[in-house]
Structure 1
Amino acid sequence: MNPDAFKTLLQDVTRQIGDRALDTSLQTWLNQELGADSPTYRQLKAACEQGVAEGWLCQREGGGLKYGRIFKPDDALQRFSVDVVDMNTLAGPHHAHPLGEIDLIMPLDDTATFDGRGAGWLVYGPGSAHSPTVARGRALVLYLLPEGRIEFTQ
């Protein structure tokens, strides 16, 4: 796996998401079709683990977490940006999602949760906001942001 192969894998996912509304029906669909028991989930998790280990993911560090934007929004990714964070039992900075956010939660410790959820997909709709929180262990979280839009609050 390398960044180019990772982008190809993500293109398949974002193509399936297409222009669907970012809401609970998308979350349900993602978890049914690409959930924690699916080959796609296993491939994405393995790619993220490898990318973090090799240093091409989560290249920045601050506030106790590792993070980084691997891809800016482009047409090949249906105008989503792609970020990955590596968190271990902590809350990240509060932010809002003007156009929504799609999260792929990949626990590295069996008990780890992200915003109270275990392995799988979590979708926040347009205008939502949160302090992203990993509890009870370490997890990787992949974020898909429409047009790369995120607004950090103080």
Structure 2
Amino acid sequence: MTQDDFNSLMHDVATTIGTRPLNAKLGAFLNETFPHDGSVVKEIQTACKTGIAEGWLCENENRGIHYSRPIKPSLGNHDFSVDVVVMDDCRGPHHAHPGGEIDLILPEDPNAEFDEHGKGWLVYEPGSAHYPTVTGGKAVVLYLLPNGAIEFTRAKKE
């Protein structure tokens, strides 16, 4: 699995998304079209593992979170960027999604969850915000951002 293979897989996913709005219906569509135990997600997971091992994915680190943006905004009708993070029982920085966010959750540990969701696809609508949080172990989370847009915010203290 090479970086070109990864790029091709993500191009296919972005093309399948097409002009669909980023909402819960898209999440259901992606989970049906690209199920977590299906060939496409398995190929993406293999590409992520290979990329992390070879150093072309998640080569950056901040506070225990490893991350990278291997694909700049360029994919599909939404000009998606692709980011990949590795998190292990931690919470990331609060941020907002001006155009929404599409996550593919790839648990490394069987009980790992991202924002209380297990393996598969999760879609945040435009204007949403959160603290990305992994509990129950280690997970790789791949996310597509329309136009690469993400806004790190100063959330209210809890």
Q: Deviations over 1:105-146 (max 9, x none)?
A: 000000100000000000000000000000010000001000
Tell me which residue corresponds to 2:52.
Answer: 52
Tell me which residue corresponds to 2:34.
Answer: 34
Question: For 1:67, what is the secondary structure of its paired residue?
Answer: strand
CA distance in 2, matches of 1:77, 1:44: 21
Tell me which residue corresponds to 1:153.
Answer: 153
Tell me which residue corresponds to 2:16.
Answer: 16
Tell me which residue corresponds to 1:114.
Answer: 114
Note the residue ranges of structure 2 that are not aligned, 5 or more in a row: none
Identity between Structure 1 and Structure 2 (%): 53
Tell me which residue corresponds to 1:96.
Answer: 96
CA distance in 2, matches of 1:76, 1:151: 21
CA distance in 2, matches of 1:76, 1:24: 19
| Structure 1 residue 78, shift from structure 2 partner | 4.7
Tell me which residue corresponds to 1:144.
Answer: 144
CA distance in 1, matches of 2:54, 2:108: 16
CA distance in 1, matches of 2:19, 2:35: 19
Normalised by the length of structure 1, the TM-score is: 0.97
Question: For 2:138, what is the secondary structure of its paired residue?
Answer: strand
| Structure 1 residue 64, shift from structure 2 partner | 1.1
How many residues get paired?
A: 154
Q: 1:59-98 residue pairs with structure 2 within 5 A?
A: 59-75=59-75, 78-98=78-98
Shift in CA distance, 15/31, structure 1 to aligned 2, threshold 3 Å: same
What one-letter code is carried by the residue in structure 2 that aligns with 1:86? V
CA distance in 2, matches of 1:16, 1:75: 11
Q: Tell whether the 8 Å contact from 2:114 to 2:132 is kept in structure 1 after alignment.
A: yes
Moved over 4 A (4+): 75-78
